[in-house]
Structure formats: C-alpha cells, structure tokens
Structure 1
Amino acid sequence: MEYLVRGILEEVRRLVDFGEVPPASDEERKIATYVKYKFEETDLDQVEIFEFKSLLWYDLGSYLLANGLRISAVALPYTLPSEVEGRLVHIGLGIDPKDWREKDLEGNIALIQFFKEDIDSAKHQYLEAVERGAIGVIFYDFVPGGTLRRIVITGVHEYHYGQSPPPVVPVLAVSLEDGLKLREMCGRRVRLVSNSVIVPESISMSVIGILNGKSEEEILITAHHDHWLTGVGDNLIGTAILVVLSRYLCKLDRKRSIKLISFGSEEAGALNFSPWYWAHGSREYVRVYKKELENVHAVLNIDILTRGSIVLYTSGPEFISFIRNLPGILYYSKITYDIPYFDSFTFTMEGIPSLTLSTMEEYINYYHTNKDSLNRIDRTTLRRGVRILLTLIEELIVKGFEFEYSSIADYIRAKCNGYELRALNRLKNLLSQPEAKTLARTLKKVLTRPYFNGDYRLDIGPFKADLVPQLSILKDIRKIEIALESLKRGKIKEGIKEIENIPRRRIAPGTEEELPSINVVPLVKLLESGFVDSVIRVLNVLSNT
C-alpha cells in the first residue's frame, strides 16, 4: 500500500512539470504522450491514443490597467481576445437582486466576487452584468494569498448540448487582494486586456491501456489529464494513480479485462461553445465506442482525490448496495448518487454501474486555481482512497462480483413517498432474475436524469442526478401538506419556511426539459400580506390533486 502512495506522489511531481494543460492544447498532447509512454513501459496488452475534435481555448497572459498599475489576472474560458476600458462598478456577490440595484453598468466594467457556495454560478453573475450593459467583467477571489482561478463562462444561461454563442464581453479574474484594491478604485476607469486564443476545432487526446482478463467483460478505471492552472488535485493525482496502477494490475489474476483511460477535454472542449462544455472526452469515447459499452461491467473514476472526507458518487442503488456490503469502505467515506460534473456520469447516463472517488466538496478553495499544488495533498486521504480503490478492484476484477439489480425497484418504491405502484412488485421479480442485467441498464438509461431545483437565473445550487427525479414532486406535495397543517394551526412562519423549500421549477440540464414541479413561491407574498385563508384554499386544492 505505502509503496503505491509513494509512487503516486512521485509521479505527480513529474506531471507538474507539464504546466497548465488546456483541453486540446500542445500541452495536452505532450502529457498524453507521456502517459502513453508510461503505459507502454508495463505489461499492458495494448496501448492506444484516441483522438477526437475539441474546442481549444488558452490564455497567453491577460491583465488589467488601473490607476497606473498593471494588475495580474487570468482570462476565464471562453473569453474572446479583446481590450476594453470603462468605469469600474462594484457589484459584490451579485447573487441577491439587491446587489444590482442602483448600479449603472451601461458601458462600464462590473467587479464581482466569486460565490464560494456555488462557484459555477459565475456564469450567471456574468450574464446578468452583460444583460445590464457591462462591457467587461472582473471577478475577484474569496481565498487570500494571491489566488487566481479559472471558471468556464458560456454565452447563455442554459446548459444544453447544442451550439451557443461565446461570451460577448471579456471576463478576467484577479486575486482577493487585488480585488479589494479595485474596490477602492470604483468610479475610476480601468482597462481590461484579454490575450486569449480560440481554435474552434483542434484535436484532443485520450490514452487507453488494455489488460486482458479471462472474459471480455471490462472494468474501466478512468481519470482526466487536462487541467486549468496548476491542477495537482484536479486531476494530476488521478492521472498519476492510473500510471502507478498500470504496473500493479498486471500482476493480478483477473476474471475481467481492464481498460485504463486517461481522458482529455474533461474540463472543457465541447464544440460550438456548447454550454454543457465539460466531460467532452468521455462523451466522445462513449459516442465512438458505443458498441463496446455492453461489455463494460463497471466504471471506477478518480477526480480530485486530495484531502478531507472521501465521497463515493455512485450511479445507482445496485452500486450503493454493493459498497454497503464491503467491510471498512464506509468507515473512511460516504456514499451518494453520481453527479453530472464527473466523467463517471457519462457512463451513468448509459445505464452502466459507475463510481467516482472524490473529495471535491472540501477542495473548493483550491479548485481550478494556481494554489492547487502538491502540498495540498493529504497523504492519509490519498492512502484511504487507494485502499478503497484496491478493494473495489479486488471485488470487481479478481473475484468477478456480479451486481444485484432488484434494489432498483426498492429504490423507486422509496421515492414514491408512500404511494403504492403495483408494477414495482413485478419489476422487482424481473430484476431478481440472473439475466436482469440488460433490463436494468435499459431501465436506468431511460429513467436517470440530471436535474436542477429552481430557475438558472434566480436560484443557486449544484446540479444533481437521480433515478426518476420526476417523482420528486411527491416530496413537494408532502411539503405542501406540512405547510397546510402549519397554516391551519396559525403557525405562519413555519408554513412559509416549508413553502420556500419547494423549488419553483425543476429542470433537466442538457435536454433542458421541464420536470414536474409546483411553483408555490408566489403564495409566500400572499401569506406575508395576510391572505392566509386564500392560501389555505389553494394548498388544499394542490394537496388533494
């Protein structure tokens, strides 16, 4: 165990020398070539490069000129090359509508702080500023110490897979310290210089190492090698794990075959400025290798395995049930449903049992920054992550564990919130059969959806995913019933709190379809205005429906 951890850290030190690795860049080609070379040093049966088209964006060195000072900055992808000058207007976080009141942005430059609780909301902060007439946007960080951060900005609020315009005005990021200096300069003119380069179609590279087992069934072990800025945790650590494992796995007695895949273009790269810009490399792999997916038994992905609590993001109840029965794993980690931000989710959407090991929740201070360095890696966390990974490899590859799929029916029944669906008994019987694998995967592929609770423009929070998220409306109805009881007892504040916890919309990002929801937010204003009896009548109707 310890020799593996030591080897991983030594490999990370070598990978750091490649510097920033934007998707589809020359740097990505170099690091992919290096990974291929390291794979070829082992006894892997086959090593190949998978090339695919990807959007290339990189920054040649952007900066600000303010009050006679040149301030270091980084351009945010997908900022176009440009230079603008305008009066600086401080917005603050720009999350609360009050932040924007009485702020004249027409022809000016907005100064906004990144929102730590939802860092990807930067795109909506940016678009709000642009819609209010800003000709440029500057973000400043929330972490002291000269932290610079890249967050991808696209030109629309939605997250569909199709074509969209690029950001129409330049956007840069500066450190917290420089942001505070700029706050003191509000009202003065500043010049924003973006020295970015965009190539609409470049070539990205993923590296595939194959190790044959006793059957054609495969376990995919994956990570990604592209990264913004220093990128040690996100995700050179994952790339290093693949390199070190390539030697270890060759010595195992394998019931299943193994594919080690180091993906390119995970951070960005989807063509035509698609607002679902990430995980492009894994999605291209699935598109090209579609016929081979039926042989994939499971996917184990590593992304941001750095420090703090390890979370196992799993594709569904069959994987959750499997992990809960493995001794010791949950002592060092917690388990939840897969989320749309990882490469594993690409396979989850195909109905394939998939998992990502990550500590992303506790790494936000260093996420996509120049402070994502080797000294941020906690050796104990890494050791625990490797132990979990080796346990999963032992069960899935050496012992040949078969998933039990009847738990899918139990999971759906639990989501019904007390409503009985007779078909679930029949479904459970079918999923208990030895040949249930194809049915289970088809079912999961059809029923799994990413979702966002709320409106992109008005609400914050991460994307989630679930099996049949449409059934979440049953929880909404239960909250309505609780709110109704509170109001009938005269507990207005409790009723308002329960209503405010019901999302006004539920959207499936990617397809952008509307999932079932009940918008009761307008009822809060009625309650605050004293129309309690009217609200009770409305809630009675909704509850009975």
Structure 2
Amino acid sequence: MFKKLLLPASLILASLVGCFGGDDSSKKTSSSVSAPNVAKACDKDDSPEARGIPSENRIYAWIEDLVNVGYRRTGTPEGYAAAAYVKCQFEKIGLDDVHYEYATSWGWSADKTSLSLGDKPVDAFPSAFSFITPSEPSVFTTGANGLKAEMVDIGLGTPLEQQLKGVKGKIVLFDLKFLLPTAGLAPFMEFYWDPTLSVIDSDLSLLVANPFITTYSTVLDAAMDAGAVGFVGVLADYFDSNNYYNEFYRRSEVTIPGFWITAKEGARLRQQLKLGKQEAKIVFEGSRKAVESRSVVGILTGKSKETIMVQSHHDSVFNGAVEDGSGVAAVLAQAQHYASQPKESREKTMLFVTFDTHFTGYQSHMAFIDKYIKDKDSPYKIVANITLEHIAKQGIIGADGKLEVRDQSEIRGIMNNMGLPMKAVMMNTIVKHDLRRMALLQANVLCTAGGMPTDASFVCREGIPTASLISGPIYLYDKADTLDKIDRKQLVPITEAFIDIIDAIDLMPSALIGLLPIPIVNPVEI
C-alpha cells in the first residue's frame, strides 16, 4: 500500500506537498510546489493608523487578509503566503530583525478518496494524517480496486469492544468522543468574570466539548494493534458536518486509512449493518512529504536581555478566521502598540513570533525552543510568554444538529503558570476591561506534566511563565471557521487588556513573574 520515497534529503525538502486534496481544497492550492524565494522587506508604514493601539477595523482587516490567503497549510503556497504576509506586517509596523525561522515538517495530501458500504456511497471526509508510514515520506494507495473488507461497529471503540468484535482484517466503525467540555475546566479555575451569569443557560452549553481532546489516539492505537485495516469515525459530539480536520497527534501515527462522517450518517450505516454482514470499500490515494515550515520573528529591543515573548500561529487547515487569524491579528496589535513606544520605555526586550506547524506536529515550535530558550548562547533570555488565540463567538449545536452561533463571546480563559502578583494583575485587568465570560485557569501542573493544551505548550513546559488566551469553540477544526465567527467587539478590549498585562510583566522583577515549577517524572507528550 505504501511506496517509500527514496530521494536525497535535499530533494525531498525541495519538493513541497500541497494541501489536502480529498475535499475541495484542490481549488485552493497546488499539489506540489517548490518553496518560494523570501520576499524583499516591506517599507515601514508611518501613517496615523499604523501607530498606537489599532482600531477594531484595522485588527479585523488583518484577519480578513489572512482568511483571503486561502487554506494556510504548512508547506503550501498559501502557507508561505501567510508567513510572508505576517513578515511584511512586522516590517511595516517597525519591528527589528524580522526574519523567518525554518524547520522541517510533514505535508499530507489525500488526492483521491471515497467510501461505500455495500453498493451505497457514504458521505465521508478523509481523516487527516491517516494512512502514513511513521517518520518517513511515502506515497499511499489502496490500489486500483480499493480496499475491501467487512465493516464492524465497535461502538465507543474501547479495547475490550474491539477484542470482542474481532477487528482483525476489518474496517471499524466507532464514535469519536470529545472529552473536555467547558465545565471540565472548573477544577483549574482561579477566577471567573461573568457578572450577568450568562454561563447559566437552558441548553447546557457548558457541556459542549472542544474538538482537540478526543478518544482518537486511544481508539486507533487499539484498532491498529488488533489488526484493523481501516476506520470510519462517527462525529458523535459534533454539529452536522463531516469536515473535521484534526491535528497531527505525534504519539499516534495512524497507518490505516480513515474517514469522518456525521452522526446522522453514522446512524444510517448502523441501520444498514443490522441487515447483516456488509462489505465496505475504501479508495484512498495521496502522499506524505517533508516540507519546509516558516515561523516569523520580530524584535523590539529594551534595556535588558530579559525578553517578553508574544506568540500565535499563522497556519490553518481551512480559511482559519478564529483558528488562528484572530490570534495573529492580536499579536500584530500588540506589536503595533509597542513599536509606537520609545525604546527607553521598555525595561525588557520584546520578541514577537507567529509559528507554523501547529497542525502538522509542532516541529517549528520545538526548533524555536532549542534555539531561543535551551541554547545558553541565545541573545534573548525569555522570562515570560504571552500567547493569543481564538477571539471567537460562541458556537453550540442547535436542536436540529446544525451549528448555531451566538452573538456573545465563547467562554474563554487565560491559562497560566504565573506567580501571585501576576495573577492579581490579570484578575484586575479582566474586570477593568470587562472581559466577560473569561476565566483565569491555573496551568502550572499541566505545564510540568506535558504542556497546556494551547499553542504555548512547548514554552510553558520549559518553565517559562506563560499567560495563554484560549477558547475552544466546536467549529475550530472545520470549514465553518469563517469571518462571521470572529468576536469583533472584543478585538480592541483584548488588545488593551494584554497591553496592561505586558506592561506589568515589563516592570516586574523576573523572579516574581512565575510560579516555581512542580517536578514531575516522565512528562507526557501532547
């Protein structure tokens, strides 16, 4: 089923894969490209709107520009265009030493896919990063006649259920469950601002779970170990869409082909399976190639080597308005404000970065950690991190199973491993700027155990005091993450609030910024 690409490393890196092609993404990207040359620097913008705290319209325009780039997947023309856009904005704002940081990641593309059960086609969406050769490039195919095997329903996909059903040589049908509802964060809550108690509603939106922490690894590791040859995941906790594009979870390299289907389609398949033994057919063709990732870095020098890092990520799987056009725009807003201030006003240096590879394995994040934090010769001593993501409107599953978006903020939080002085600052700031439906979440144990579930994970696990703005709307990994999901009214208040937080960090002795790390043996990979 696999053909290894026996090519020199330099040639592999020069042949960069396009985006996922099993859906309509072929309209968005080329299937194979060479990395474009780095564009010339953009001139500094000295217009009035490029100074001070940017307006709501300016912040939103940055998001809109990124959305219009297309599907910003790592190693694609659109991915490089997003990096170039951020680099140009950093230069226009007036950051110093604006440059790319490079790392090698993986580009995955499913170019021809279909699923049927019996003689009936199934409305299915290819599961990202499935059917791969672990740690190697490959071309994958189910062959000219496709993969044919019996489909067996394993319910929740527990190892016991798979053992009882005897899944060897079969295609498994299971319910993918989302494990962390908003209410599940209550044990980490240090503070919550919601003066109208909007969180108490009749449709139990607190029980809507985010799409990041799921049963994916548990079910598929067991299925592969038991000899399953393919999978079909029912999006049991999702709205009526199968366009779910999961991250690449490095601890589970899935070597069998798979698809996502809606809960409604899953019910139909289960009714069909009740009629007796059914053969399914999978057609799955594509490739996995090494690609070059580009993170963007810019600097504002202060009075000392001590450095405050402000980050997000510019890659996405679809148009990515909330995930993470909103985060990039929030970083640009901070950069514009601080670039408008005199150098003498900063006690500490500021480092701004938007990462690549958020969805393809975080290789750029880890390379950055090695160069800027672990390397003792780094010119920057990072003493605090601010991560900005997901300025989003609330999404719930309506009574008809469709996605319903409300004109209020998704419940959000600032995950942090800060010390008590900074926690007090953040609480006061949340109230001062009336950031409703906002929680302060204690993440010290998470950081030492393996990392908080945000783009800041690899920074905080190194012991860097971190405040990470995050929300988990259910539509994050879907085509539904479009511009109408941006919580525009919060763009400026969020900017002003984090200016207050960063100003406090800048004035605070570094020893008082964070909590002492809690030593935990054998940290768990996210």
TM-score > 0.5 by shorter chain? yes
Post-superposition Cα deviations, 1:161-197, rounded to whole Å, max 9, x if no partner, equal xxxxx42211222233333332233232222223332
Matched, 1:144 2:239: yes
Pairing 1:189–2:273 present: no
Relative to structure 1, is the Cα distance of residues 334 and 215 closer, same or farther in structure 2, using a 3 angstrom cutoff? same
Q: 1:172, 1:194 within 8 Å by CA — same for their partners in 2?
A: no
CA–CA distance in structure 1, aligned partners of residues 383 and 353 of structure 2:
15
SS of match in other structure, 2:288: strand
Give 2:357's aligned amino acid. Answer: S
Q: Could you tell me whether the CA contact under 8 Å between 1:59 and 1:75 is conserved in 2?
A: no
Note the C-alpha offset of 1:2.
9.1
The alignment status of 1:108 with 2:156, answered yes or no, reads: no
Instruction: Tell me the residue number matched to 2:313.
Output: 224
1:373 matched residue in structure 2: 482
| 2:151 and 2:172 in contact (8 A); partners too | yes
Q: Is 1:314 aligned to 2:314, yes or no?
A: no
- CA drift of 1:241 comes to 1.8
> Are 1:45 and 1:211, in contact at CA under 8 Å, matched by a contact in 2?
yes
Distance of aligned partners of 1:21 and 1:177 in 2 relative to their CA distance in 1, 3 Å threshold = farther
Distance in 1 of aligned mates of 2:443 and 2:251: 27
Higher relative contact order (CA 8 A, sep 6+): 2
Alignment of 1:106-505 (within 5 A): 106-117=168-179, 119-141=213-235, 142-152=237-247, 166-186=253-273, 187-199=277-289, 201-253=290-342, 254-255=345-346, 256-269=348-361, 279-289=362-372, 290=375, 291-292=377-378, 295-306=381-392, 307-316=409-418, 318=419, 320-326=420-426, 328-331=428-431, 332=435, 333-335=438-440, 336-337=442-443, 339=446, 340=451, 341-360=453-472, 363=473, 365-397=474-506, 400-405=507-512, 408=515, 444=516, 448=517, 467-469=518-520
Q: Which residue of 1 aligns with 2:141?
A: 82
Structure 2 residue matching 1:60: 3-state secondary structure: strand
C-alpha RMSD of the superposition: 2.9
Q: Find the aligned partners of 1:407 and 1:2 in 2 and give their Cα distance.
A: 27
Separation in 1 of the partners of 2:295 and 2:120? 45
Q: Distance in 1 between matches of 2:423 and 2:106?
A: 37
1:224/1:264 contact within 8 Å kept: yes
Residue 198 (structure 1) shift: 0.5
CA contact (8 A) 1:242 1:260 kept: yes
Q: TM-score, structure 2 length as denominator?
A: 0.68
SS of 2:86's partner is helix
CA 1:5–1:402: 2 relative to 1, 3 Å: farther
Counterpart contact for 1:39–1:243, Cα < 8 Å: yes
Q: Is the 8 A contact 1:312 1:357 kept in 2?
A: yes
Distance across 2 between alignment mates of 1:40 and 1:238: 18
In structure 1, the partner of 2:192 is none
SS in 2 for 1:177: helix
CA distance in 1, matches of 2:387, 2:283: 38
Match of 2:23 in 1: none
Pair 1:195–1:227, CA change in 2 (3 A): farther
Residues 155 and 167, structure 1, Cα contact 8 Å, conserved in 2: no
Contact 1:286 1:293 in 2 (8 A): no
Which residue identity does 1:250 align to in structure 2? A
CA distance in 2: counterparts of 1:61 and 1:321, whole angstroms: 55
Q: 2:88 aligns with which of 33, 37, 56?
A: 37
Whether contact under 8 Å (2:308, 2:384) holds in the other structure is yes
Q: 1:195 and 1:177, CA in 2 relative to 1: closer, same or farther beyond 3 A? A: farther
SS in 2 for 1:292: coil
Residue 71 of structure 2 is aligned to residue 12 of structure 1: no
> Runs of 5+ in structure 2 lacking a partner?
1-51, 133-139, 181-212, 393-408
Change (3 A) 1:357 1:407: closer
Deviation at 1:69, TM superposition (A): 2.2
Q: Which residues of 2 match residues 493-532 of structure 1 at below 5 A?
A: 508-510=523-525
Contact 1:146/1:177 (<8 A) preserved: no
CA distance in 2, matches of 1:79, 1:20: 22
Q: In the superposition, relative to structure 1, how do residues 366 and 87 fare at CA in structure 2: closer, same or farther (>3 Å)?
A: same
SS in 2 for 1:174: strand
Contact 2:384-2:513 at 8 Å conserved across structures: no
Structure with the larger helix share: 1
TM-score for the superposition, normalised by structure 1: 0.65
My pick for the range that moved more, 37-46 or 291-300, is 291-300
| 8 A Cα contact 1:304 1:358, kept in partner | yes
Secondary structure, aligned partner of 1:370: coil
Q: What is the CA-CA distance between 1:380 and the residue it aligns to?
A: 4.4
**Counterparts of 1:468 and 1:88 in 2: how far apart (Å)?**
46
- Deviation per residue, 1:203-253 (Å, 9 max, x gap): 110011122233333211100111223432221211122233333321124
1: distance between equivalents of 2:350 and 2:59?
Answer: 20
Matches of 2:430 and 2:519 in 1, distance apart? 26
The 2-side partners of 1:105 and 1:281 are apart by: 37
Contact 1:58–1:197 under 8 Å retained in 2: yes
Deviations 1:10-58 (A, max 9, x none): 2212211233223333332121111112222222223111112222223
Counterparts of 2:500 and 2:176 in 1: how far apart (Å)? 38
- Tell me which amino acid in the other structure corresponds to 2:458: T
- Aligned to 1:387, the other structure's residue is in SS state helix
* SS state at 1:214 partner: coil
Distance 2:489 2:130 in 1: 37
- Deviation track 1:320-374 (CA, whole Å, cap 9, x = no partner) reads 43131456334443221154233323222333222211113xx2x2132222222
